[in-house]
Amino acid sequence: MWMALALIQAAATPLPAGVEEDLWCIAVISTAAASAPADQQPGLVGGMMYYMGRVDRVVPGIDYAVELRRLLDAKDADATISAAAKRCGTKLQDVGGSMQRWGKALQQKDGK
């Protein structure tokens, strides 16, 4: 019963801009993690933490279980996950590339 009430509340309260997209990215990563090999798990955890940090910044205390259940129970969830996968992956690649660039810049500065 409480879960039903929480789902009704979640559906009635619109999320701020961008949060729904980030939640879909978390759903993408969760789905991928279920079948990913062990050597890919750290990257998936890093991606999950990135998107959770974005969501937590905008909606502190969000109930991830309720929100993700709402998304995953939607009739078009599989199609939405497939569509979101490329967008989410591209964003994580951009962030990873940025981290590598500033990491190299810091190493160069330290190695004067």
- pLDDT tens digit sequence for 14-60: 899 899 999 999 999 999 999 999 999 999 999 999 999 999 999 99
Residue 44 lies in a domain: yes
* Whether pLDDT at 4 is above 90: no
Residue 9's pLDDT band (cuts 50, 70, 90) = low
Please give the residue range of the domain that contains residue 96.
16-110
Residue 26 lies in a domain: yes
How many domains does the chain divide into?
1
The model's pTM: 0.81
Residue 8 lies in a domain: no
70 by DSSP, 3-state: which?
helix
- Please spell the DSSP secondary structure of 15-32, one letter per residue: PPTTHHHHHHHHHHHHHH
Residue 11 lies in a domain: no
Residue 2 lies in a domain: no
Res 17: pLDDT: 85
